[in-house]
Amino acid sequence: MANKIPRVPVREQDPAVRARNFEEVCYGYNEQEAVLEASRCLNCKKPRCVEACPVSIQIPAFISKVAAGDIKEAARIISQDSSLPAVCGRVCPQETQCEGSCILGVKGEPVAIGKLERFVADWSRQNGVRFADKAPANGIKVAVVGSGPAGLACASDLARWGYDVTVFEVLHKAGGVLQYGIPEFRLPKQEVVEYEVENVRRLGVKIETDVVVGRTVTVDDLFDKEGFKAVFIGSGAGLPKFMGIPGENLNGVFSANEFLTRNNLMHGYDPTYDTPVFSGRRSVIVGGGNVAMDAARTALRLGSQVTVVYRRTEKELPARVEEVHHAKEEGIEFRLLTNPVEILGDEKGWVRGIRCIRMELGEPDESGRRSPVPVPGSEFEIETDTVIMSLGTSPNPMIARSTPGLETNRRGCLIADEDGATTRPMVFAGGDAVTGAATVILAMGAGRRAAAAIHKALQSEK
C-alpha cells in the first residue's frame, strides 16, 4: 500500500529570512526523504508521466532505483534523456507535465517527480558521478547557435552520437536564460548551472562565447568558411516587449530582462561586482508570468517594497503556482485586474508613480480566454520609483535577418516543422526561437528532436 504514504514535504528556507538573501529557497530532499517519496510510485505499466515529459525521461525506472537506494543507477537512467536534470528538477512546471499526469494525482498527491530528479542530480554532483558514454568521433561538424536549454540538449545528443559540435553563445557565459534570467534563489549558478554546462563540455562539445551569430559570423559563414554540415538555431526569445504607454522611457523603468540580467548574469546584487542594479524604495512589476515573479522576488531581495500588477485574475496568472505562493509568502503584494495606462515622472525625469485602470473579465475570445476590459473612470495611481516591465519576449530578429532563406512568421518566430527543419536546407531550429517564450523543458525537447533529425539528414547524405 505504498500509495497510502502522503507526499513527503520538501524543506524550504524561512520566508522572512530568504526575503533578504539570494540563497536557494528550496533545500530539496535528503536521501531518506527521497527513498520514502520514491516508494510511493506505483511503477505503472503504461506510465503517463513519461508521455507527459517533453524529453521522455524513464521516470518509473529511475524512481524505482531511488526507492531501492541505487542513486547512481537512477542518475544513469536520467542521463540518457536529459543533460540538465538538476536544472529541470528545479524549474520545470511539473504540475502541468509529468506530475500533472501521475495517476496518484487523481485521488491524492502526485509523486514528487521533479524533487526526486533534483535529488538524484544533486547527489550525483556531490558524489562526483558523471556519465559521458559516447560513440566514436565521426568528424562531421555541426554548429549550434545559442547555449540555452535547446542548444545544450541538441549539442549533447549530437556529441554522444560522435559529431564534432561547436556551440556559439552571444553572452560571456553559457546557459542562456538559466544564466541571465532565472535568479540564484531558484537556480544556483555556480553549483548547478555551470556544473551541468561543464557536463555538456565533457561530452566533447566546444562552447565559444562572445560570438554574435548575425554579426560576428553569419550562418552562411558557418557553412561556407568553417565547414559545418548542419546548423541548429536555439537562439531563444530574448527581445523584450514594452507596452507603448506614455512614460515608458523615464529613468527607473526597466525591462525584466535588463533588471534580471544585471542581477543574475552580472551579479549586480553582489557588491564585489561592478555592474550597478537600480532598486528603488518601491517597485511595481507589470505582468504575471514566471519572469514577473523572478523580477518581483529579486527587487524584494534588493530591499524594495514590491507590487505585482496583472490585468487578469489570479486564476489566469501564467506563473507557476509554486512561484506565486513563494512570492506571497515573502510579502509581495498582488494588484489583480489592474492595467497600467501611464508611467508618471517627476521634474527630473524619474518615475514617481504609475497610473492604472481597473479591469473586469469580458466575454471569452476566440482562444476561449475571457479578455480583460477596462472599467471606465476607474483610474488610480500607485506611488513607486521603479517600474519593471515583464510583458513577455519575442525572438531577436538578428539571425533571421542575416540568413537568406530563413523565414519567420508574423510574430518573428522561425518557421520550423515538428523535427525542427526550417525553410533553409540543413538549418534546424527549436525552442523559444520557434515557439516564442515557453519553458526550459519544451526547449530541451525541441533540441533533442532536432538533434535526431540532423543525425538522420547527415546519415542519409553519406
Partner 1 sequence: MYKILRKKFLTPAICLMDVLAPRVAQSAQPGQFLIVRAGEKNERIPLTICDYNREEGSVTIVTQLVGASTRIICSYEAGESFADVVGPLGQPSEFIHLSPEALRNSRYLFIAGGLGTAPVYPQVKYLHQAGAKVDVIIGARNKDLVILEEEMRAVCDHLYICTDDGSYGEKGLVTDIMGRLLDSGEKYDQAVAIGPMIMMKFVTLKGRQYGIPLIVSLNTLMVDGTGMCGACRVTIAGKTRFACVDGPEFNAYDVDFEEAMRRQGMYRDIEKEKDHQCHIGLHQ
Q: Which residue has the cell 534570467?
A: 181
Q: Which residue has cell 524584494?
A: 300
Q: Which of 278, 328, 436, 438 forms a contact with partner 1 (CB under 8 A)? A: 278
For partner 1, the closer of residues 240 and 318 by Cβ is: 240
Query: What value does the CA radius of gyration of the chain take, rounded to a whole number of Å?
Result: 23
Q: Is 443 helix (H, G, I), strand (E, B) or coil?
A: helix
Q: Which is nearer to partner 1, 27 or 273 (CB)?
A: 273
Q: Which amino acid is at 380?
A: F
Binding piece for partner 1, criterion CB under 8 A, among 102-110, 159-167, 182-190, 241-249: 241-249
Per rule CB under 8 A, is residue 380 in the interface with partner 1? no
CB of 289 to partner 1, least distance (A): 16
Residue 129 contacts partner 1 per CB under 8 A:
no
Contact region for partner 1 (CB under 8 A) — 61-69, 184-192, 232-240, 336-344? 232-240
Listed residue (100, 117, 38, 173) closest to 320, CA to CA: 100
Whole-angstrom Cα distance, residue 351 to residue 343? 7
Told to check if 215 binds partner 1 by CB under 8 A, we report: yes
Contact 334, 316 (CB under 8 A): no
267 burial (CB, 10 Å; 0-12 / 13-18 / 19+) is middle
217 binds partner 1 (CB under 8 A): yes
User: 10 Å Cβ neighbour count for 184?
Assistant: 22
Which residue stretch of 35-43, 115-123, 208-216, 292-300 sits at the interface with partner 1 (rule: CB under 8 A)? 208-216
- Residue 412 neighbours by CB distance under 10 Å: 15
CA dist 201 and 223 (Å) reads: 23
Q: Which of 223, 254, 269, 310 binds partner 1 (CB under 8 A)?
A: 254
Q: Shortest gap between Cβ of 2 and partner 1 (angstroms)?
A: 47
Unique residue bearing C-alpha cell 534523456:
81
Among 6, 21, 27, 172, binds partner 1 (CB under 8 A): 172
- Report if residue 36 touches partner 1, rule: CB under 8 A: no
Q: Pick between residue 346 and residue 407 the one whose CB is nearest to partner 1.
A: 346
Least distance from partner 1 to the Cβ atom of residue 393, Å: 8
| SS3 at position 23 | coil
Among 245, 266, 373, 457, which residue interacts with partner 1 (rule: CB under 8 A)?
266
Contact 192, 87 (CB under 8 A): yes
Q: Does 273 bind partner 1 (CB under 8 A)?
A: yes
**Which one, 258 or 316, has the nearer CB to partner 1?**
258
Cβ within 8 Å of residue 405, ≥6 positions away: 423, 424, 427
CA distance 147 to 344: 39
Please tell me whether residue 211 binds partner 1 under the rule CB under 8 A: yes
The helix or strand, by DSSP H or E, that contains position 434, with its residue range, turns out to be: helix 432-435
User: Least distance (Å) from partner 1 to the CB of residue 335?
Assistant: 24
Does residue 361 touch partner 1 according to CB under 8 A? no
Interacting residues with partner 1 between 416 and 435 (CB under 8 A): none
Integer Cα distance of 61 and 94 in angstroms: 18
Q: Note whether 262 binds partner 1 by CB under 8 A.
A: yes
Give the start-end residues of each E strand in 259-379: 282-286, 305-309, 333-335, 338-345, 351-364, 370-374
13, 56, 396, 423: which one binds partner 1 (CB under 8 A):
396
Q: Which of 105, 188, 240, 392 binds partner 1 (CB under 8 A)?
A: 240
Kindly give the interhelix angle for 149-160 and 440-461, rounded to the nearest 10 degrees: 40
226 belongs to the binding site for partner 1 (CB under 8 A): no
Q: Using CB atoms within 10 Å of the CB of residue 462, give its burial: 0 to 12 exposed, 13 to 18 middle, 19+ buried.
A: exposed
Q: Which of residues 294-333 bind partner 1 (CB under 8 A)?
A: none
Residue 242 lies near partner 1 (rule: CB under 8 A): yes
Q: Which of 251, 313, 371, 423 binds partner 1 (CB under 8 A)?
A: 251
The Cα 237–Cα 436 span in angstroms is: 6
Number of Cα atoms under 13 Å in the Cβ half of residue 36: 12
Q: Which of 64, 97, 255, 384 touches partner 1 (CB under 8 A)?
A: 255
Residue 53 as a binder of partner 1 (CB under 8 A): the answer is no
Residue 274 in the binding site for partner 1 (CB under 8 A): yes
349 binds partner 1 (CB under 8 A): yes
Interface ranges with partner 1 (CB under 8 A): 170-172, 180, 209-212, 215-217, 238-240, 242, 244, 248-249, 251-252, 254-255, 257-258, 261-262, 266-267, 272-276, 278, 348-349, 396, 398
